[in-house]
């Protein structure tokens, strides 16, 4: 989901939204100071800057983040279905993991980079329809409502499998 688009622009309102996204999970700034290997820093930053592993996953599943979308964000697991990828990309937006959003964007359609400044406070994901996108499919569509502090994004996203992995291709904004 190219959720960058519907961001309320400019003004103090958007500044506030930026702040509240970054603060989720608190104290992101303290974890990156020690000179430890780079991969380590990334992991530490992701965990503290985003969502705690023992908290409910932002994607709306009943599982904790640590056993739901986090393994996907850390590259420990791949999404089996288009829906799973969709959910994990939403969680990545919530967690501020722009790298994951970029990495799971199809090379054919993805932007040169995804802005780290994801200045929307996402509150809830609701999947409203799924077409194909299963473990035996190569394409799929997921329609969802992504609720945020200023409204809701209604999108039908297309996904494609490439070299065994699911990627976000593009989507139509419906409302």
Q: Which residues bind Zn ion (CB under 5 A)?
A: 57, 59, 61, 68-69, 91
Closer to Zn ion by Cβ: residue 6 or 58: 58
- Supply the minimum distance, in Å, between the C-beta of residue 57 and Zn ion: 3
Query: Would you say 79 or 114 has its CB closer to Zn ion?
Result: 79
Point out which residues pair with 154 in neighbouring strands. Answer: 145
Neighbours of 9 (CB within 10 A): 8
Residue 66 beta carbon to Zn ion: minimum distance, rounded to whole angstroms: 10
> Considering beta carbons, is residue 59 or 142 the nearer one to Zn ion?
59
For residue 62, CA distances in Å to 48, 96, 144, 159 come to: 21, 21, 18, 24
Distance between CA atoms of 117 and 150, rounded to whole angstroms?
17
At its nearest, how many Å lie between Zn ion and the CB of residue 38?
Answer: 26
CB of 128 to Zn ion, least distance (A): 17
CA distance to 90, 100, 123, per residue, from 75 (Å) = 16, 9, 24
Query: In the complex with Zn ion, which residue's Cβ is closer, 2 or 58?
Result: 58
Tell me the C-alpha distance between 127 and 145, whole Å. 6
Please name every residue paired with 64 in a beta bridge, in sequence order, or none if there are none: 56
For Zn ion, which is the closer residue by CB, 41 or 145? 145
**Among 63, 61, 59, 32, which residue's Cα sits nearest to residue 45?**
32
For residue 79, the minimal CB distance to Zn ion (Å) is 10
């Amino acid at each position: 989901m190219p959720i960058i688009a519907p961001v309320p622009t400019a003004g103090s309102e958007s500044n506030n939204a930026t702040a509240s996204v970054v603060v989720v999970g608190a104290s992101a700034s303290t974890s990156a100071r020690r000179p430890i290997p780079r991969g380590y820093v990334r992991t530490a930053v992701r965990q503290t800057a985003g969502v705690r592993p023992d908290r409910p996953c932002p994607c709306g599943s009943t599982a904790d983040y640590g056993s739901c979308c986090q393994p996907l964000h850390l590259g420990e697991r791949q999404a089996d279905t288009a829906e799973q990828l969709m959910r994990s990309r939403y969680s990545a937006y919530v967690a501020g993991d722009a790298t994951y959003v970029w990495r799971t964007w199809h090379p054919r359609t993805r932007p040169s980079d995804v802005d780290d400044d994801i200045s929307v406070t996402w509150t809830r994901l609701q999947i409203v329809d799924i077409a194909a996108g299963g473990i035996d499919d190569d394409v799929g569509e997921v329609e969802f409502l992504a609720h945020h502090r200023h409204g809701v994004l209604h999108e039908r996203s297309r996904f494609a499998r490439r070299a065994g992995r699911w990627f976000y291709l593009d989507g139509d904004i419906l409302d």
